[in-house]
Structures are given as C-alpha cells and as structure tokens.
Structure 1
Amino acid sequence: MALWHDRAGRVSGLKIATLVAVSVPALLLAVDTLLGGLGPRPYDEAIHRSGDWAIRILVVSLAVTPAIRILTYPRLISIRRMLGVSALFYLLLHFGLYIADQGFDMGKVASEIVLRTYLTIGFVALAIMAALGATSFDGMVRRLGRRWNQLHKLVYLAALLAAVHFFMQTKIQAFEASLIAGFLLTLGLYRLAAKRRLALTSPLVLAGIAVLGGLLTAGAEGLWFWVGTSVPPLRVLEANLMLPDTIRPAWWVLAAGLAVAVLPVLRKALKGGAEAGIRRTA
C-alpha cells in the first residue's frame, strides 16, 4: 500500500499533505547544498538543520494523540507513524552528516560519542528512535502485542534526551531549545491530564495546562542558564516576566496553549452552525 493511502486503500489528502510537509526541509537542504547556500561551513549547517528538523517533527508526532482527543478527530492517527519515521529519517541524516564531517573515521566518531556527553546523549536518543522505527511496521506490532505499546513509550525518553542534546549543543543560544522543551513539557501535561481522566475538550482544563506549560518553560530555561552558564535563574525568570523586545519562549508556549484551548469552542460553534444550516434547508 502506498504511503498516501489510508488503511482502506483510498488516497488520503491528510497523508499526502503530511508527506509533502515532512519532505520540504530535506528538499530545501538538498537545493542549498547544490547551490552552495550552506555558508562557509556547509557540514555544520547541514548537521544543525537536520537535527533541528528531527526534533521539531518528533514534537509534532507526540502532539498527534492529544490533538485527537482535543479535536475529537481520530483520522489524525493515520499520520502519527509517518511523522515518527520522518523524525527518525532526519536523525539518521543528522548522524550521517556528522560521520561525513569526521571523514568517515568511525574510530574517531565512536571516541567522540564516548568522550563528549552531549554526543552520548544524542546517540542514545538515536538508538531508541532506531529501535522504535524498526518495530513500527504492522507485522512487528502484531508480533509484539502488548509489549509494543510498552516499547513505544520510550519515545518520550528519546524526546527528552534529544531536548537535552539540543540544549547542550546550542549552549547560550537556547531560544529554540527552550521552546522545544516547553512544548514537550506541555505535551507531558496533556498526557497527565488524560491519565487522570480530565476532559481535554474543556477550554478551562486546556487553559490551565497552557498557563502551567508556560511557567514550566520559564523554569526550564532558567534552570538551563543556571546549570549551563551560571546565570542566576531569577534573572532569566525576570526576563520572562518583563516582556522585553524579544518575546521569551515561555510566552510562545503560553500563546500556543491558549490557542489550543480555543479550538474546542470553535469546533463546537462551527458544528452548531452547520447543524443549524441543515435544519433550515430540511
């Protein structure tokens, strides 16, 4: 069955759109490589771009299950595997480019992974994602049974390790790393709320998660700067509260969370309007 078909064998517009979206970063990277648009250090730029897209797509894949509950749109489940495999593709590209940058000296690559903590963490995340990718096919799902769900919960550990790797790689330029960490923390809150049987279709519950997610993002950013650069965490928290020229990641996470909280209201209003229109034309 082709990638763009659903389980019934029909062409799926949702899967086509997803396939196009996850392919665009790789195509742009290929074009810039051919046209010399990667700057004076092309390997470094390509390594960073592929790694950035790997964790971005991984975060989106983790957002699928909460989105299904919030939007009550089960068809989204059809793209979760595609997103996960795409994240693995960019991770493998990220690692492959690093190997190429080291002149394909596998001894040097292995020693660097062992000696550099951020590389060790990133490699463990890659190994977990590779194991999940190898067991993502229908045959492995049937063969593993209940163990499949337990194994694939490791994706959250992989995402956490990837976020730590991202922080350690970016060092003081940690804006996007903080943003990614904030989204992961917020997704963790959605998961916790679902386990406690809180209604993820309730705007109040979602707004509460948005506020808490924003606070956790500010805390994660402050903790990173404290541990990584010895900047007092209170200074970072103060910067988050003062709304300077650059809007801090915590506010972006809060805004995104509040936008999600509005979605059930909009969906209900649109559904009610459609039903009213049907009644008028009946």
Structure 2
Amino acid sequence: MSITLPTPFAWPWRDRAGRFSWLRACVLAAALSPGLVLLALLAAGELGAEPWKAAAREAGTHAMRLLLVSLAVTPLRYLADWPKVVTLRRMLGLVALGYALLHLALYTGHMAWDLADVASEIVLRFYLTLGFGVLLGLAVLGWTSTDGWQRRLGRRWKRLHKGVYLLAALGIFHAFLQAKSRADSAVVLAGVFLWLMGWRLLPGWARAHGLALAGLAVVAALAAAGLEWGWYAATTNLPAARILAANLDPGAGLRPAQGVLVAGLVVAVLTAARRRLA
C-alpha cells in the first residue's frame, strides 16, 4: 500500500512554489498560539470551576476572531496596497474552522464525552443548533476551498464562498446567545463585522479615503452601541439605557463600541498617512 504525501503547497508554511514563507509561518504561529495557550491552561486546571466550558467558549471566540481576520484580508489588501496578503486568506479561514472544531470538542469534554447527550443538547437548544449549523457551513467552505474545487465549481464557487458573510453573522448571533448578560466580546465582534461589511459597500474611491473611513468608524461604533443596548433591553433585566449612556462617560472604562470606534479611526489615520507619504 502506497502513501501519497501532500504537495509542498499543502503545508501551510509554504508558498505556491513550495518555498518556505516566513510570512505564512509567522501568521500561522500567531493564529495557533492562543489555542495552544488555552489547552495548556486547561491541562493545568487554570480555567476556573468549569474549565471545559470556559475553554470551549474561548475557542469559539477565537474561531470568530479568525473568521473576521480572514474577512479583513480584502480591505487590508486595498488599504495597505499589499496584494500578497490575499494568499493568507485560505489559511486563516481553515484555522478558524479548526478553532470551531476545537470549540465543539471542548464542549463535548464539558459534557463528559457523552455523544448522545451532546447530540440531544444540540437538537433541543437553539443557540447550540445555530452554532452547529455554522460549524457545518464552515466545514463545507473549508472542504471546497482547494484549487481543485474552485476549478470544478467554476462560477458557483464564488457564490458558495460568499456564504461566509452569512455564517459570520450567524456565528456572532450565536456568541450573543451564549454570552447572555456578558456580551462585551460579542458586541466587539459585531462592530468589527459591521465595519467590514460597510467597507465593502463603500464606492471604490472611498475605500481608501481617510475621511470616508473615519465616517465608517463612527457608523460602525454607533451601530455596535445600538446593538448592545437592544440586546440588553430585550434579553436581560440590566439597565440598558445606563449601559448605552456609559459609551459617553469616560469614567466608565472602555466600552465595546468605543473600542470599535478607536480601531476604525486608527485604520482611517494610518490609511490617510500612507496615502500622503505615497
């Protein structure tokens, strides 16, 4: 029986020519390191009273972060005038899928590896059903991400992989449902996602224009603040109006929407500076 080894490009740290790429290797190491730290903390018993549950939640958050980073590749290509960054998109998407699978595996560990119980929970609990559906969607995109599938599907390949936008939105909704009354992380994810989608809706001339990007940052931050208020008002007994007002109070600490605003303004300033220097 013969064993077929992967082609050089199959290894994520190599480029299409089969050469070692420091860029790909460093990005891969940065993407994988939070997961390795998480597993080390789990093994050391440093994750609280319910370590498997905490680890599962953190792995899911990492999955969403990496998915949004993969969606940020196209804006980064334009804003930094860096075509080579596009070669990282597939790898980032696959690492996001890996974190999503780890999320499910850790949740199974939390359920004492009782697969029947896990399946029952996924069927009976809507937020778990939703999360499992997102995982299946990411698995389909990961399986069909190869050059071979791209040639096989032709124009349908691009339509299929545009489904990542819907999967990202549903994944963020899953994060809200899982977070319940502690939705700061989900609000940040939502704000970043709204910025990324808003950037794609901008006309071509505005996509690398400092003032347009600053305006987009304000819109994304306001939308994130509105989502935060709506979530707490609709699903909790917390004072949603006071939480919304905290976004205008410097003494209340950095709120999620403020973080989205700061990040967006930094992107706008750096883009304007790069264009001026160029």
TM-score with structure 2 length normalisation? 0.91
State which drifts further: 28-37 or 50-59: 28-37
User: What's the RMSD between the two structures over aligned residues?
Assistant: 1.6
Task: Give the CA deviation at 1:48.
Answer: 1.6
Q: Deviations over 1:77-96 (max 9, x none)?
A: 01111110001000001001
Q: Deviations over 1:28-84 (max 9, x none)?
A: 123223333233322112112211111111111111111111112111101111110
Partner AA of 1:108 in structure 2: D
**Equivalent of residue 220 in structure 2, options 190, 213, 217:** 213
State which drifts further: 162-171 or 35-44: 35-44
| Distance of 2:175 and 2:43 partners within structure 1 | 27
Q: Deviations over 1:222-281 (max 9, x none)?
A: 11111111556543322222233321111111110011011223323444xxxxxxxxxx
| Counterpart mapping for 1:2-21 below 5 A | 2-21=11-30
Q: Deviations over 1:129-166 (max 9, x none)?
A: 11111111111111111111111111111111111111
Taking only the aligned residue pairs, the percentage that are identical comes to 46
**Equivalent of residue 199 in structure 1, options 186, 198, 206:** 206
| Distance of 1:178 and 1:197 partners within structure 2 | 28
Partner of 2:3: none
Q: How many residues align?
A: 269
Instruction: Indicate whether 1:170 and 2:179 are aligned.
Output: yes
Task: Give the CA deviation at 1:171.
Answer: 1.1
**Equivalent of residue 184 in structure 1, options 185, 190, 193:** 193
Task: Give the CA deviation at 1:8.
Answer: 3.0
In structure 2, stretches of 5+ residues that fail to align are 1-7
State which drifts further: 71-80 or 104-113: 104-113
Q: Does the CA-based 8 Å contact 2:230-2:240 persist in structure 1?
A: yes
Q: Does the CA-based 8 Å contact 1:163-1:180 persist in structure 2?
A: yes
| Distance of 1:52 and 1:61 partners within structure 2 | 14
Q: Does the CA-based 8 Å contact 1:207-1:261 persist in structure 2?
A: yes
Partner of 1:257: 264
**Equivalent of residue 24 in structure 1, options 29, 33, 43:** 33
Q: Does the CA-based 8 Å contact 1:85-1:133 persist in structure 2?
A: yes
Matched position secondary structure for 1:244: helix
State which drifts further: 242-251 or 171-180: 242-251
Partner of 2:156: 147
TM-score with structure 1 length normalisation? 0.90
Instruction: Indicate whether 1:105 and 2:114 are aligned.
Output: yes
**Equivalent of residue 60 in structure 2, options 51, 55, 65:** 51
